[in-house]
């Protein structure tokens, strides 16, 4: 198989993905005795994380040639909807210093590609998680699981469209390295934030 940017990124983040799958806060989502309080913790953590990250993406996109048209895929609004449906009215107080989980300024196409790879790829796992949320807590897209529902039946098509963009960039060697680094950093930032919620 030819080494695509996607396969490079998958390889570069494989161990980080395995670690996150085992992260106690996230892993709870797939366990039969999951409680609503456990789930709310994840939504609150993700709400902070995505709000900040999507602001970074929106600030970067106009300054970078060939940026992915991400606006229609923004997910912070989905998390706000979930908090609302779950009856959480008080904004979460960040559990740790923002610098620990904020990705920081995105200022080149490699970084943008790496960051988007992580958040678009995570919608694939979301399809598994949403099934557990339905089974364990009876939640649906409409009743508090909007974020993990993600693109629903369009997930594969959205992922293919994203991968097409990723390869169409024809990134140079150093840009791919920046993408790999950015993807690894983003995984570890999320892990740090989730650890503060455990």
Residues 29 to 58 in contact with ligand HEM, rule: CB under 6 A: 30
Residue 157 in contact with residue 127, Cβ under 8 Å? no
Binding string, residues 166-195; x marks residues near ligand HEM by CB under 6 A:
------------------------x-----
Residue 119, class by beta-carbon neighbours within 10 Å (0-12 exposed, 13-18 middle, 19+ buried)? buried
The interface region with ligand HEM, picked from 50-58, 88-96, 116-124, 135-143 by CB under 6 A, is 116-124
Q: Pick the binder of ligand HEM from 40, 61, 88, 124 (CB under 6 A).
A: 124
Joined tokens for residue 150 = 């993600």
Rounded CA-CA distance 73/122 in Å is 13
Task: Please state the closest distance from residue 116 (CB atom) to ligand HEM, in A.
Answer: 10
Answer yes or no whether residue 6 interacts with ligand HEM by CB under 6 A.
yes
Rounded CA-CA distance 123/156 in Å is 9
Rounded CA-CA distance 10/84 in Å is 34
Residues that bind ligand HEM (CB under 6 A): 6, 10, 17, 20-21, 26-27, 30, 117-118, 121-122, 124-125, 128, 190
């Amino acid at each position: 198989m030819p080494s695509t940017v996607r396969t490079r990124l998958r390889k570069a983040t494989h161990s980080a993905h395995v670690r996150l799958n085992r992260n106690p806060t996230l892993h709870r989502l797939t366990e039969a005795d999951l409680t609503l309080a456990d789930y709310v913790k994840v939504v609150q953590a993700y709400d902070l994380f995505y709000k900040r990250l999507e602001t970074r993406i929106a600030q970067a996109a106009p300054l970078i040639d060939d940026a992915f048209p991400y606006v229609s895929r923004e997910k912070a609004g989905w998390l706000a909807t979930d908090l609302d449906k779950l009856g959480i009215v008080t904004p979460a107080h960040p559990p740790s210093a923002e610098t620990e989980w904020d990705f920081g300024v995105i200022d080149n196409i490699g970084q943008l590609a790496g960051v988007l790879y992580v958040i678009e790829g995570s919608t694939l796992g979301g399809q598994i998680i949403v099934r557990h949320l339905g089974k364990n807590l009876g939640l649906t897209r409409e009743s508090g699981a909007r974020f993990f529902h993600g693109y629903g039946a369009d997930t594969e098509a959205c992922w293919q469209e994203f991968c097409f963009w990723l390869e169409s960039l024809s990134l140079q060697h150093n840009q791919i390295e920046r993408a790999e680094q950015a993807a690894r950093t983003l995984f570890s930032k999320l892990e740090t934030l989730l650890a503060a919620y455990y």
